[in-house]
Structure 1
Amino acid sequence: MKVVHVVECFAAGTAHFINLLTQYTSCEHIVIHGERVDEASAEAVKAKFPEGVSFIHWQHAQREIRPGQDIKALKELIHILKNIQGIDVIHLHSSKAGFLGRAACFLLGKKQVIYTPNGAPFARADVSPKKKSLYILLEKMANKLSGQVVCCSPSEAHSYEELGIKTTYINNGTALPALSPATLTAKPEKTFTIVTCGRVTEQKNPALFNEIAASFVQQQDVKFVWIGEGEKEQRAILNAANISITGWLSKAEVESSVSASDLYLSTSLWEGLPFSVLEALSLGKCLLLSDCVGNKDLVKDGYNGFSFLTATEAIGKIQWLMQNREALRQMEKHSREWSEREFDIQIVSRQYQHLYAQLAGKEHELTVL
């Protein structure tokens, strides 16, 4: 099968998701992509993809809504799609590509189309109510044009169903790392380390992270680590004396740092199904996650961690976990087991392989890596 991926936001979790699909589904993959140079160059992102994936630069694609530029991007996308022969499925990723892609496919008469939001635009907490209403209108309009919505988590799917948009979901997944003996051994109870990973942005709510960390600043045996980087203004919010900001690390270094921690904390305002948390789950970490779309699908209270709404709740859970290390270790075990059952990329890729084959009418040819 020939699968064409269309993505404006060719960086971070979305690019990682497409990368995994190209690795674990047995299809010919073509990626039509924009570029966010402030986050990562397209060349750097492409270098991480497996051999055999083809790339086409979508020059006029950009994040914000600008009608003139968006019309140029739509015309360019139509031209690109017209010139690709033998497309079986078009998979659109994130909201801008989702809207322009469905408009282009409608105008070209293409019906084998999937749209995966990977973070519903109307769930954003950093935009005005007026802008949220615009996002909802655009999602409803695009839904009438072409394709089907396939969300990346149950809670994201529910948010679309609440708008009257029929949808289904396939969980995001991650490659499960082998756990070293050191990972499986109980850690000495000296320093209690709480880690998070991701770009320091308003979405990740550094203010809440800082508030939680600041409440432990007098306790020398508690430290907080933020793996990632961000703009100066957002970094400045993380000013509690017990927070270390590592900057970007290699994949091996991230896995090592997360594995060595006692607790994974996410203070996000909204998510799709976050890969950073999925990877912490796969490493067998106890999770403490803000109760937002996406996060809520990855934690079961008392089973593999806890969800929270306020800093006070989060602080109380950290204190409880520090005093109940045996319960914490049991939750770590549950995280890994749950990851193996539901979030292994090999399971997720088989679900996408079947969906692609179903849309292409090629179920009789189905082979899975």
Structure 2
Amino acid sequence: MKIVHVAEAFAGGIVMFVKSLVENMPDDEHIIVHGERAHVTRFTEIRKQFARTNARFVRWHSAQRSIRLSKDFAAFFELYKVLKRLKKQHQIDAVHLHSSKSGFIGRMVCKVLGINNVIYTPNGAPFLVGTSKMSNFLYKQLERLGNGFGGQVVCCSPSEQEEYEKVGIQAITINNGITFERFNGLDLEPSSKKFCIVTSGRIINQKNPALFNSIAQYFQEFKQFEFIWIGDGPERALLSSSNITITGWMPGDEVARIISSANVYLSTANFEGLPYAVLEALALRKPVLLTDSVGNRDLVKSCLNGDLFKHHSEAIVKLLQYFNNTSMLNIMGEFSAVHGKESFNVNHTFTRYRNLYKGNSDHIKNDKYLKPALVNA
């Protein structure tokens, strides 16, 4: 098959997602039409990750994140030319759109060109992003409008699917997945003398660094505690508590080493699609303490492998309980690994996407692993 991936926001988790699909479908051809967010990761660095894969790249120069009509019209016509050429060359069996901007423009272009086998994966509902009710309302209307152009909406977590169905958009769920076996052989025991709480990701509003800082501040006088944020970003100044270490961006193996040496993985995100960083924490047998938000709540199973919280005070109480009962953390970590392997294995993910690329959405809807996510569908 020939699969065209369209990604305006070709950085962060979307790169991991597309790379996973490419690597696990080695017999298919993948054409990646992409924008660039150089302030996050330059494309020259991203391309190195695909060096030994069956992917080729087409630059989408006009693509940009913010809504600006002149730029968006330019992005529409540029993408139209690219997909029209690929269609004429019989290079398209399926088009997979990644993120909201690609989803909106891409579905319009496919509608005009008569390309019917279209999949749209939001990777985080855009109408949960805004800082105001007005902006979220606008994004909801844009998602509804985009849905009218066709294509199958595929959410990466059941809670994300629920949010789409609340606004009247039918969707299915295919969980994100990772290769759990690649973490075999790592020393998974905490190595620090201090009780270490870790998180990983860009330091941006969506990850709520202010909440992370508020939790850490409570423990400033407790020398037994330390907090680590793996990553960097424009809002790093919000992480001002003296017991927080910001590592900056690091290679994947080093990230895994730091997480494996911690006691607890903490996420303060306002919302997620289904975060790869938390999936890796599950694979590394870490208890997880996560905000009760879209995407996060799918990763905690009956409080066996961690807990959800709504307010910083709840997180503080849980961390104190973990600290005073460290023997329970190993058991919770084992539950994390079991839950992860059962529900978020990459083999399940790419098999279901491949069925979608073949045009077999009914097979996905009847998948036994997805029935809980489709109760309200």
TM-score by length of 2: 0.92
CA deviations on 1:134-172 (whole Å, 9 max, x unpaired) are: 111111011111211011110111100001111001001
Alignment partner of 1:225 out of 228, 231, 236: 228
Q: Which runs of 4+ in 1 moved over 2 A?
A: 177-182, 187-190, 358-361
- Aligned partners of 2:229 and 2:166: how far apart in 1? 34
- In structure 2, stretches of 5+ residues that fail to align are 363-377
Alignment partner of 1:150 out of 142, 151, 154: 154
Aligned residues: 357
Structure 2 counterpart of 1:38, which letter?
A: H
Give 3-state SS (helix, strand or coil) of 1:37's partner. Answer: coil
The 1:301–1:322 alpha-carbon spacing in structure 2 relative to 1, beyond 3 Å, is farther
Counterpart contact for 2:22–2:54, Cα < 8 Å: no
- Match of residue 131 from structure 1: 135
- Aligned partners of 1:200 and 1:20: how far apart in 2? 24
- Match of residue 75 from structure 2: 73
- Match of residue 309 from structure 1: 310
* Alignment pair present for 1:117 and 2:95: no
Structure 2 counterpart of 1:160, which letter?
A: Y
Q: How many percent of aligned residue pairs carry the same amino acid?
A: 44
- Aligned partners of 1:143 and 1:237: how far apart in 2? 37
- Match of residue 62 from structure 1: 64
Counterpart contact for 1:228–1:245, Cα < 8 Å: yes
Counterpart contact for 2:279–2:344, Cα < 8 Å: yes
- Match of residue 83 from structure 1: 85
- Aligned partners of 2:53 and 2:152: how far apart in 1? 29
Cα displacement (A) at 1:348:
1.0
- Aligned partners of 1:249 and 1:60: how far apart in 2? 30
* Alignment pair present for 1:168 and 2:172: yes
- Aligned partners of 1:237 and 1:220: how far apart in 2? 21
Give 3-state SS (helix, strand or coil) of 1:92's partner. Answer: strand
- Match of residue 346 from structure 1: 347
Alignment partner of 1:193 out of 196, 216, 220: 196
Cα displacement (A) at 1:192:
0.6
Structure 1 counterpart of 2:98, which letter?
A: H
- Aligned partners of 2:191 and 2:351: how far apart in 1? 40
* Alignment pair present for 1:211 and 2:214: yes
Structure 2 counterpart of 1:118, which letter?
A: N
Structure 2 counterpart of 1:132, which letter?
A: N
Structure 2 counterpart of 1:60, which letter?
A: S
Structure 2 counterpart of 1:277, which letter?
A: V
Cα displacement (A) at 1:226:
0.5
Structure 2 counterpart of 1:253, which letter?
A: E
CA deviations on 1:10-65 (whole Å, 9 max, x unpaired) are: 10001110111000124210000001111111121121114320100001010011
Counterpart contact for 2:22–2:53, Cα < 8 Å: no
CA deviations on 1:159-212 (whole Å, 9 max, x unpaired) are: 0000111100100111212333632x5x47941100000111111111110110
Cα displacement (A) at 1:338:
1.2
- Aligned partners of 2:284 and 2:93: how far apart in 1? 36
Alignment partner of 1:101 out of 88, 98, 106: 106
- Aligned partners of 1:328 and 1:203: how far apart in 2? 28
Cα displacement (A) at 1:302:
2.5
Structure 2 counterpart of 1:21, which letter?
A: L
- Match of residue 241 from structure 2: 240
Cα displacement (A) at 1:360:
10
RMSD (Å) for aligned C-alpha atoms? 1.7
- Match of residue 2 from structure 2: 2
- Aligned partners of 1:304 and 1:55: how far apart in 2? 40
Counterpart contact for 1:112–1:360, Cα < 8 Å: no
Counterpart contact for 2:28–2:54, Cα < 8 Å: no
Counterpart contact for 1:89–1:360, Cα < 8 Å: no
Counterpart contact for 2:301–2:339, Cα < 8 Å: no
Alignment of 1:288-367 (within 5 A): 288-359=289-360
Using the TM superposition, name which of 339-348 and 248-257 deviates more: 339-348
Counterpart contact for 1:301–1:307, Cα < 8 Å: no
CA deviations on 1:310-362 (whole Å, 9 max, x unpaired) are: 0100000000111112221111001111111111212211111122123599x
- Aligned partners of 2:163 and 2:356: how far apart in 1? 22
Cα displacement (A) at 1:301:
4.4
Cα displacement (A) at 1:300:
2.5
Give 3-state SS (helix, strand or coil) of 2:14's partner. Answer: helix
- Aligned partners of 2:96 and 2:137: how far apart in 1? 25
CA deviations on 1:234-260 (whole Å, 9 max, x unpaired) are: 111111111111111111100000000
- Match of residue 375 from structure 2: none
Cα displacement (A) at 1:276:
0.8
